[in-house]
Structure 1
Amino acid sequence: MRSIHDPRYQDLMKKLIELRESQNVTQVELARLLNKPQSYVSKVEILERRLDVIELIDWLSVLKTNIAEFIS
């Protein structure tokens, strides 16, 4: 099984999308904060591209969320 198809990873991505949306941050805004193109955010969110741990920390940092709180 590819890791982006692992249900645990999919749940993590759903939670990350919910976090972004709960803060009323668009994909375009998140991409700007990350200094990435919007397509990068989109591909991660639709499971075409996998985030590594460092990238996850970057996303959570710009969304002002502690990784320990996010994972719990």
Structure 2
Amino acid sequence: MGNKDRFSDPYRRIVDGLIAARKSRKLTQGDVAARMGTDQSQVSKLERGERRVDVIDYVRYCRAVGLVPGALLDAVDGEGD
């Protein structure tokens, strides 16, 4: 079982929402990493499910792509399991 398989559906929807926001703004993982103050490999691992996102990195990622952190959580919460 891969790492992605171990994460719940709501968690995966959060990560997918982050990725979609990054791509819709035409940002690379490197762009997001620079704005977060980390390196591209950390963003890649987060997006691929190799590394679980903690709340601090979630907020940093959201800010890096211009999302309001609560808005994505509200959207995911409204989708149900």
> CA contact under 8 A between 2:14 and 2:72: conserved in structure 1?
no
Count of residues in Structure 1 that have an aligned counterpart in Structure 2: 70
Which of 61, 64, 78 aligns to 1:62? It is 64
What does the per-residue CA deviation read over 1:5-55, in whole Å, with 9 as the maximum and x for residues that have no partner? 211111111111001100100001111111211100000000000111111
Gaps of 5+ in 1: none
The TM-score, its normalising length taken from structure 1, stands at: 0.86
How is 1:16-55 mapped onto 2 (pairs within 5 angstroms)? 16-55=18-57
What percent identity do the matched residue pairs reach?
Answer: 29
Gaps of 5+ in 2: 75-81
Structure 1 vs Structure 2 CA RMSD: 1.5
The TM-score, its normalising length taken from structure 2, stands at: 0.78
**Take 2:11 and 2:30, find their aligned partners in 1: how far apart are those partners?**
23
